Amino acid sequence: MKDDADIKREIRNMYSRTNMMLRRFGKCSMSAKICLFRSYCLCLYGTALWSKYNATTLLQLKYCYRKCIKMFVGHAKYHSITDVLLNFRLPSINTVIHV
């Protein structure tokens, strides 16, 4: 009775949504990309119900969120996530999942 399977499903969905948006909207302006990312990747409903999960599974979700943001806006892997979040006014993963 753990929520690990649901968290892994959200990870797969975030990767697939980000890749789909990159293929379809990769040449759009940055403001359009941010609007799309907010609409399609920040809708993590039901996260407040997660109560029993492994810490590594939640870390995988956090890494997935960071990687998807950087990949979608075109920043390098080693670029600061804090800088990206502040520049594009995106919430951190802790804000999104209410940890």
The per-residue pLDDT for range 35-94, each reduced to its tens digit, is 999 998 888 888 888 889 999 999 999 999 999 999 999 998 888 999 999 999 999 988
pLDDT at 62: 93
pLDDT in tens, 8-29: 999 999 999 999 999 999 899 9
Q: Distance between alpha carbon 48 and the CA centroid of its chain, in Å?
A: 16
* pLDDT value at 99 more than 60: no
* pLDDT value at 1 more than 80: no
Q: Which residues contact 53 (CB under 8 A, 6 or more apart)?
A: 2, 3, 4, 7
Distance CA 84, CA 90 (A): 8
Residue 32: pLDDT band by 50, 70, 90 thresholds? Answer: very high
pLDDT at 14: 93
